[in-house]
Amino acid sequence: MQLVIKFLAGLEIPIYLMLGVVAVVYLRRLVVALDERRSAVFGLEREAARRKVSSSISVLVLIGLLTVGEFIVATFLVGEIMQQPSYATPTLQFTKTSLPTSTGPVPTDATHTPTLYPQATVTGINSQCVAGVLEMTAPKQDDTVSGVVEILGSVDTPSFGSYYYAYSNTGETLNWQTIAAGSEVTKEGSLGFWYTANLVPGDYYLRLVALDNDGKEQSNCIIRVYVEPEG
**Every domain of the chain and the residues it spans:** 2-83, 134-227
pLDDT tens figures, 59-70 = 999 999 999 888
What pLDDT does 88 receive?
47
Residue 191 has pLDDT above 60, yes or no: yes
User: What percentage of the chain exceeds 70 in pLDDT?
Assistant: 82
User: Is this structure's pTM higher than 0.75?
Assistant: no
Quote the pLDDT of residue 89: 47
Model confidence at 8: pLDDT above 80: no
**pLDDT(179) > 60:** yes
pLDDT tens digits for 35-45?
A: 888 888 788 88
| Residue 114 confidence (pLDDT) | 47
Q: What is the mean pLDDT of residues 8-23?
A: 85
DSSP for the chain, written as a single string: -HHHHHHHHHTHHHHHHHHHHHHHHHHHHHHHHHHHHHH--SHHHHHHHHHHHHHHHHHHHHHHHHHHHHHHIIIIIHHHHHHS-------------PPPPP-SPPPSS----PPPP----BTTB-B--BTTTEEEEES-TT-EE-SEEEEEEEE--TTEEEEEEEEEE-SSS---EEEEEE-S-EEEEEEEEEE-TTSPSEEEEEEEEEEETTS-EEEEEEEEEEE----
pLDDT at 78: 62
Identify the CATH number of the domain defined by range 134-227.
2.60.40.10
Portion of the chain with pLDDT greater than 90, in percent: 54
pLDDT at 82: 57
